[in-house]
Structure 1
Amino acid sequence: MGTVRTLISCATNFGWALHQLHVKNAFLHGDLHEEVYMEIPPGFSKPETSRKVCKLRKSLYGLKQSPRAWFDRFRRAVCNMGYKQCNGDHTIFYQHSNCQITILAVYVDDIIITGDDDVEISRLKKSLSKEFEVKDLGQLKYFLGIEIARSPKGIVLSQRKYALDLLSDTSMLGCRPASTPIDQNHKLCAESGEPVDKEKYQRLVGRLIYLCHTRPDISYAVSVVSRYMHDPRSGHLEAVYRILRYLKGNPGRGLWFKKNGHLNIDGYCDADWGSCLDDRRSTSGYCVFVGGNWVSWRSKKQPVVSKSTAEAEYRAISQGLSEMLWVRNLLSELKVIRKDPLRLWCDNKSAISIANNPVQHDRTKHVEIDRFFIKEKLDDGIIRISYVSSIEQVADCLTKGLSVKECNSACDKMGMIDIYHPS
């Protein structure tokens, strides 16, 4: 989804059209390279065929090889049309022609086409229709449960229907709304309450995880409740219902992609030191802007215990830098950006000093690999790490619970709006 949001930011800034196609019975187009046999389907068996089996010539739904066989067939077909497969994301194909570009992104049987070469886009649609049974859905409006609304001012991604269906299935449509997704001073731990229905809890959290594709404001809260999927307690379930009550207040809120006229890559990273009460591991949070639009983010507990705030922040810098480099390599391969230095903002001066100081410090021995990784990119001029005050830190909402005022401010910084809210 980070790739899809990046392409939508490009389309917004460059004024590209977004087209959507759907491949009917996609898995049935796959070619099998192995010998696969199946039992004769019920209703077709006869006494004389009781000891016989069927040999498959094409892949079927339910076969483990079907997704791989389908994508291999699709890849070969698109490459034969003159397109190249992107190394940064293998589901992206592109073609340059006369200083124009056409980009195709595929997710199983759903296809997005964008670019500034209208003639090539029309030719590509016809070629795909000859190769597969394809339905042209016109302009991109609904993709993988995400609603896309476009106007001259920009594009809005939201999951309003998905959120309302979730509230309806949990009988929370009439609940009292909450002003924040998680309590500011929550004390959730592994022993918070009595055991609850594990399957129900996992199903709820799984649906919330998918909702995070357009709702970064609940990412931290969802990451916290995701830690206890193996042994959920009543306190954890209450935190899940708190997120649902928050969604009740603004189910149509989503990401707004504005036309800023550039594709500069900026990033923010932050860490909350020793925030997990179970193992005292820190929480890292980072976000990446492409063309002034929020396209990628993450809130996750760090894999090891940090001995200082500087160490925790430094690990967050490393994770944020890795994501920014991936976005940069993706856009560089598509040849839609200049190779300007990346800008990463951090609110910890000690971590910034360690990154810029070539002298080995005793307190950096536990992050030595991260230190050399970041230093190498600084020396090559690929990245610039700058200080930002905690008040202006955009990634703050990905590492801790916020107050009502701070939560609303964070949503504004992320570019989140609710187009369904009455004016």
Structure 2
Amino acid sequence: MYDWLLQQLDVRNAFLNGNLTEIVFMEQSPGFIDDRFPTLVCCLKKALYGLKQGHVLVYLLVYVDDIILMGNDTTFFNTFVAKLHQEFSIKDLGALGYFLGLEVTHKNHSIFLTQTKYAYDILARAGLVDAKPVTTPLSSTEVFLSKGELFHDPILYKSLVGALQYLTITRPDLSCAVNQASQHLQSPTVSHFQSVKRILRYVKGTFAFGLHFSKESTPTLLGYSDVDWARCIETRRCSYGYSIYLGGNLVSWSAKKQPTVARSSCESEYRAMANTATKIIWLTHLLRELHALPMDVQPFYVIRKELFFSVRIRCLIKEPST
């Protein structure tokens, strides 16, 4: 959204936080304040990364020895990378292209995330590389029941479902189907495995699917939620889902079964709506911590019911005076 630099690094040897050479104090972290001594401060024993640098913003994502670096100031960005080279043995991989199975394509001020190679590896593990593709992950009438003939290789079932769960990082269209398959990991049946094969056949025909992030002028949060009515025949619980967009880009989604039985479709809808509103509020706080939203801007929510109990939750950023 802001045309920031996006670069990938690799540390040749993993490292930990360094020792401090001077005395540094910090306030107690929000949410972890000692009720007995709320006014006391902490004396740091190890160096912390991510300290504020005024109007210069640099985000560092570290997974063991793989690093993604992003910032809004070219000069400071290059200086920071040079400092990392001085302190650690680091390999500069250039613009972000491949990270933990995620493939990144840059084009016209936008990026496209996909997991084509990872999806192919899943199909190869299941022996379905040459399978015939289907147009949907599951049939609309598909029902997962706990009873039935047990599948002879539950480890394979768990492995495939776990791999599909990681694939949903860039494939929200798989979330609902994979969630249903995940509810029977403890004792999968032959019918469950057939459903997983159906999901994999859908993946076979949608290798190129992924997430597209484009530059938008305003950071508007827009959320949608929906829920079925007692879809699970055995527990009579509802399954709900939500999707949240930031400036038109999908940034958060989920599909799962509600923890309790709703006594009416209206009750299940409001539970789904409340959960989505909670996620929007959490994202609002996160974006403020990342300085993507001004701290003095308050979110304004508009909740509107639509046909068939499809709920739209819209979050518009407005000034406190309005």
TM-score normalised by the chain length of structure 1: 0.64
Structure 2 CA distance for partners of 1:385 and 1:96, relative to 1, 3 Å:
farther
Unaligned segments of structure 1, at least 5 residues: 1-12, 30-69, 81-85, 343-381, 396-423
* 2:59 aligned with 1:103: yes
1:384 aligned residue (297, 302, 309): 302
> What's the RMSD between the two structures over aligned residues?
2.7
Q: Secondary structure at the match of 2:184?
A: coil
Q: Secondary structure at the match of 1:305?
A: coil
Which residue of structure 2 lines up, in the alignment, with residue 268 of structure 1?
224
- 1:209-248 to structure 2, matched below 5 A, reads 209-248=165-204
Q: CA deviation at 1:133?
A: 2.1
Which residue of structure 2 lines up, in the alignment, with residue 126 of structure 1?
82
Q: C-alpha offsets along residues 128-176 of structure 1, whole Å, 9 cap, x if unaligned? A: 2233222211111111100000111511000000011111222211111
Q: C-alpha offsets along residues 106-143 of structure 1, whole Å, 9 cap, x if unaligned? A: 22222211121111111211222233222211111111
Report % sequence identity.
36
* 2:216 aligned with 1:298: no
1:207 aligned residue (137, 158, 163): 163
* 2:50 aligned with 1:93: yes
**Counterpart amino acid of residue 237 in structure 2:** R
Which residue of structure 2 lines up, in the alignment, with residue 62 of structure 1?
none
Which residue of structure 2 lines up, in the alignment, with residue 326 of structure 1?
282
Q: C-alpha offsets along residues 244-264 of structure 1, whole Å, 9 cap, x if unaligned? A: 000111112101112222211
Q: Secondary structure at the match of 2:103?
A: strand
Confirm or deny: 8 A CA contact 2:112 2:211 kept in the other structure. yes
Structure 2 CA distance for partners of 1:125 and 1:208, relative to 1, 3 Å:
same
Unaligned segments of structure 2, at least 5 residues: 24-28, 32-47, 314-322
Q: Secondary structure at the match of 2:267?
A: helix
CA distance in 1, matches of 2:103, 2:183: 29
* 2:143 aligned with 1:143: no
* 2:29 aligned with 1:24: no
Of 99-108 and 273-282, more deviation after overlay is shown by 99-108
Confirm or deny: 8 A CA contact 1:92 1:106 kept in the other structure. no
Which residue of structure 1 lines up, in the alignment, with residue 273 of structure 2?
317
TM-score normalised by the chain length of structure 2: 0.82
Q: CA deviation at 1:196?
A: 3.1
Q: C-alpha offsets along residues 25-64 of structure 1, whole Å, 9 cap, x if unaligned? A: 31xx3xxxxxxxxxxxxxxxxxxxxxxxxxxxxxxxxxxx
Structure with the higher strand share, 1 or 2: 2
Which residue of structure 2 lines up, in the alignment, with residue 182 of structure 1?
138
Of 209-218 and 170-179, more deviation after overlay is shown by 170-179
CA distance in 2, matches of 1:302, 1:92: 38
**Counterpart amino acid of residue 302 in structure 2:** R
Q: CA deviation at 1:295?
A: 0.8
Structure 2 CA distance for partners of 1:196 and 1:242, relative to 1, 3 Å:
same
